[in-house]
A and B are shown apart, each in its own frame.
Chain A
Amino acid sequence: MAQETEKVIQDIDEVTIRFAGDSGDGMQLTGSQFTDTTAVVGNDLSTLPDFPAEIRAPAGSLSGVSGFQLHFSNSDIQTPGDSPDVLVAMNPAALKVNLRDLKDNATIIVNTNSFELKNLKLAKFDSNPLEDGSLSKYNLIPVPLTQLTMSALEDLPLSMKEKEKCKNFFALGIMYWMYNRPIEVTLKWLEGKFKKKPEIMEANKRVLQAGYNYGDTTEIFTTRYDVKPAKLPKGVYRNVSGNEAAALGFITASLKSGLPLFLGSYPITPASEILQELSKYKDYGVTTFQAEDEISGICSAIGAAFAGSIGLTSTSGPGLSLKTEALGLAVMTELPLVVIDVQRGGPSTGLPTKTEQADLLQAMFGRHGEAPLAVICASSPADCFFMAIEAVRIALKFMTPVILLSDGYLAFGSEPLKIPKLEELPEINIKFRTGVEGFYPYLRDENLVRPWAIPGTPGLEHRIGGLEKKDIYGSISYEPENHEIMIDKRRKKIDNIKNIIPELVVEGEQEGELLVLSWGSTYGSIKEAMRNVKAKGYKASHAHLRYINPFPKNLAEVLGKFKKVLLPELNTGQMAFLIKSQFMVDVIQLNKYQGQPFKISEIENKIIEVLGGNNGK
């Protein structure tokens, strides 16, 4: 083939790559392999998978395109990037769907073998874009990926189909070469993955190496890029997705508290990975009960909490709806319980694989009767780790259900987590009630928290249930005044949580023209947007909420220090509703509900628009 050519290595600060293909092309796997390698190289990174709800949509169709975006850098970054610099498109449909997101001078690597009439038609191309000049503003690199893969595997005793399936690793090999990454991490992964299928392992290894060599020897690739390790704070890191981080957080909370973790759960996108992850950790004494339905998921967790475990249930919107009645029971019986709701586009089945922040008001109010509970949220994939621990800490300390809001963007996205030392994490000291003297099931402490007396404790036999309780004694009571007392106490108990959570931190000026107030997964885009507007000379501050019910103590004070409050969120204004009604503050809303996260530019433009001509002064 080509001659050995001298290739230039160019240093760049950051790059955003998107792998796209059919949902059966292994794009998620290709992306996650590139991610793992990039993590080990030491870049800061952030990823965003984007895939259809159908497991295998019709091959070659526009609806079946699956994508994986990865942004990596030599400095601290917060998002998977607005627009890719590089697109790897395995077929015409993948090209068509992703073209509109690319930067103007982006590089496109296409599998030319898939650009035949049938696929072009499926992708609704009138002519072949590789030939009609429509891609002239891009740096187009045509590679016959399928053909090259087949030739690399010519002598292996595998079926054509098995060989063809390796082509994603050819693309991965090219990308490893292009961005100067080692292939060893993936080779090692292949050895583990296909231990029992040595010929498949060999095929993938060979194709990966062939892709790498292809970059090295072919003239069409003139430049390699190098993204140096990021200067992150000192420490040991690992890459985590939000769901994985949450699972690790819950186990850590179990280790911290010395109480066993019990998960009752029913599989649901995008929360299932929490169930799958936790089911691996039997050596930590974790019980994962895959229940017959969502209701049994939460009910078994309530039962486990009654018996002295950390009761946990994982779900997404439709499941949260089903769990509603049981949540009321947990409020009434004042048992510790954690619900992690990985939000997705709704209502109803909605957009199962897409992200949204539209369960907020359901988490706050979605129960019959006066049924307050704690609501907190995670702001990044790695933050899911910390907020999972917080959820358990609050639930156990206050004998209350806690809803932890995550979403599809955090669940599937990934970023490096700086592994904290165990002793740096908050203590969770919980003591079961054992003393018989003066025991009453609803006799509260100074925080209005009732004792946790678990079955098996001699002398404390008692009954709890969903009927209204008599204050202190816990027996059934229908007395009018008692009901009012109990409603007030349950509400005040939740309010008291504000005494153990951190105050809201304002980044930037502590007072002024504009505060950007945010919550949940929008953190990354907003943080980068703030950086950009600051660089352009605008003045604005940012505060990000991780605790929603109760809000941090100082929220009212913070809101009072700014003339304008801008609140971007991925719904029609649910947090804005809460802020307006609780604090009587006028809020400028920025809402998006397309199943996609905010782009940095969308936030940036809105901030500049709100600041108008006076630049925050």
Chain B
Amino acid sequence: MENKIDEVVADVKYTAKDFSSGLEVKWCPGCGDYSILAQVQRQSPDFGEKKENIVWISGIGCSSRFPYYMNSYGFHTIHGRAAAIATGVKLANQKLQVWVATGDGDMLSIGGNHFIHACRKNVNLKIVMFNNRIYGLTKGQYSPTSEKGKITKSSPYGTVDWPFNAIKVATGSGATFVARTLDRDPKHLQDMISRAAKHNGLAFIEVYQNCPIFNDGAFFPLTEKETKPDNVVYLEHGKPLVFGVNKEKGIMLDGLNPVIIDLNDGKHSINDCFVHDEFDENPTRVFLLARFTDLPGFPTPIGVFRQFNKATYDGDYALQIANVKAQKGIGTYEKLMYSSNTWEVN
């Protein structure tokens, strides 16, 4: 008992610095990844986890260098497989808080299968997907989130692919915490990280991230002071969807279609606006919001699209093991080998 109290007293209060591995960070100057790293390090002391119980797992790509810079346990794996490896880590030791750092190519292209199934199973992982809509590490080919018609090194005449909307993929696959944030909005990014850390179940955060070399300014309309108010709508639970420099625009539902309304036109008021409910388990609301990015003139929703609690894969697995052990008793070698028909030769 006394020991336990000592332990609590002895608990170190971490600072952001404690989570820096000290390794020289080698992203390009101006890369949005720096901000993500800084915000994660800043928030890590508040996760309520001991440093040794935090694991960062990544795949391949610029984003996937992330674990090397974190002073936690880390595993830089192979292209697309981070979610699968992270699932093994979490199942093997439930006490660990398992994070995945990944990119749009890593998670939505080569790793798509692992991603949708981790979401479906609601494995207790926190996935932070750095979306720069380009392949950076291989120097500038289009990615599964590149907008249609994009001219890149591998699409000199423009892409003919339709892009993935990560929020829709995650929601459609069953993720129980789905959020989007911006590399250039540190406070919001911190908030999303903290909330994901607290979520019990699969948390997915899409971070719009600038690649200054191969896709510079892709998100500037959303991140720069002059354009941001008209192009971003912040999702806050229980609050109406309003945007614009003076919050003069709102979003109203006309049947299942969103329409932009002018709150100063004398015909509409704030009461007409669609009110965000992030705890609604019905995914329809999320799809409705996620579609804004496909609609001309609509702002991009930033924030938590949905979060709710549902039994986790790892939690239920542990429960099943505990139940079977309680029912059958803990397995022994004798039970194992003599359970079937046996015979003795004398």
Contact = CB atoms under 8 A, between A and B. Distances in A.
A230 B25 CA distance: 70
B74 A309 contact: no
Nearest to B52: A458
A36 to B, nearest CB: 6
Question: Which size bracket describes the interface of A in this complex?
Answer: 35 or more
Contact of A461 (B72, B76, B325, B340): B72
Interface in B92-151: 92-93, 95-96, 113-114, 116-117
A307 B345 contact: no
Contact of A465 (B68, B72, B329, B333): B68
B77 interface: yes
The residue in B51, B78, B95, B338 that gathers the most chain A C-beta atoms within 10 A of its C-beta is: B78
B88 interface: yes
A287 B341 contact: no
Contact of B342 (A419, A456, A461, A466): A419
Contacts of A24: none
B170 interface: no
A229 interface: yes
Interface stretch (A59-67, A207-215, A276-284): A276-284
Interface stretch (A84-92, A298-306, A338-346, A481-489): A298-306
B275 interface: no
Contacts of B52: 455-461
B75 A311 contact: no
B67 to A, nearest CB: 5
A185 interface: yes
A308 B340 CA distance: 31
A590 interface: no
B157 interface: no
Nearest to B120: A292
B344 A235 contact: yes
A232 B91 contact: no
B309 interface: no
A584 B71 CA distance: 51
B345 A252 contact: no
Interface string B313-325: 0000100110011
Contact of A456 (B53, B76, B87): B53
B336 A292 contact: no
A486 to B, nearest CB: 16
B296 interface: no
A456 B93 contact: yes
Interface in B238-292: none
B85 A466 contact: no
A239 B75 contact: no
A251 B344 CA distance: 23
Given A251-B336, A422-B333, A475 B23 contact: yes
Given A287-B317, A307-B93, A39 B343 contact: yes
A300 B72 CA distance: 20
A419 to B, nearest CB: 5
A21 to B, nearest CB: 25
Interface in A303-324: 303-309, 311
Contact of A464 (B23, B74, B90, B346): B74
Given A42-B343, A238-B340, A293 B113 contact: yes
Contacts of A419: 337-338, 342
A31 to B, nearest CB: 15
Nearest to A416: B343
Question: Which size bracket describes the interface of B in this complex?
Answer: 35 or more
A295 interface: yes
Contact of B117 (A234, A296, A307): A296
A236 B343 contact: yes
Given A283-B331, A296-B117, A289 B87 contact: yes
A27 B72 CA distance: 56
Given A235-B344, A422-B333, A461-B52, A304 B91 contact: yes
Nearest to B346: A234
Given A287-B92, A296-B113, A234 B345 contact: yes
Interface in B62-76: 67-68, 70-76
Contacts of B232: none
A56 interface: no
Contact of B67 (A185, A239, A465): A465
B62 to A, nearest CB: 14
Nearest to B80: A295
Contacts of B5: none
A252 B329 CA distance: 17
B336 A252 contact: yes
A475 B67 CA distance: 12
Given A282-B321, A283-B329, A291-B84, A308 B92 contact: yes
A490 B329 CA distance: 42
B88 A292 contact: no
A40 B88 contact: no
Interface in A238-257: 238-239, 248, 251-252, 255
A285 B67 contact: no
Nearest to B55: A455
Contact of A455 (B81, B89, B338, B346): B89
B330 interface: yes
B167 to A, nearest CB: 21
Contacts of B53: 455-456
A326 B88 contact: no
A255 B336 CA distance: 10
Contacts of B337: 238, 248, 252, 419
A537 interface: no
A371 to B, nearest CB: 13
A462 interface: yes
Contacts of A305: 88, 92
Given A292-B114, A295-B81, A238 B342 contact: yes
B37 interface: no
B338 A236 contact: yes
A264 B78 CA distance: 17
Nearest to A329: B78
A283 B324 contact: yes
B92 A307 contact: yes
A262 interface: yes
A480 interface: no
Nearest to B322: A282
A325 interface: yes
B21 A307 contact: no
12 contacts: A40-B343, A238-B338, A239-B340, A281-B336, A282-B325, A292-B84, A295-B84, A311-B88, A333-B75, A422-B333, A457-B52, A460-B52
Interface of B: 21, 23, 50-53, 55, 57, 60, 67-68, 70-78, 81, 84-93, 95-96, 113-114, 116-117, 317, 320-321, 324-325, 327-333, 336-338, 340-346
For the complex of A and B, the 10 pairs showing the least CB-CB separation, nearest first, are: A303-B88, A465-B76, A300-B88, A284-B331, A463-B74, A299-B84, A282-B324, A307-B92, A303-B85, A455-B73
Given A307-B96, A463-B21, 11 more contacts: A235-B344, A237-B344, A255-B336, A306-B89, A329-B78, A455-B55, A456-B93, A457-B52, A460-B52, A463-B70, A464-B76
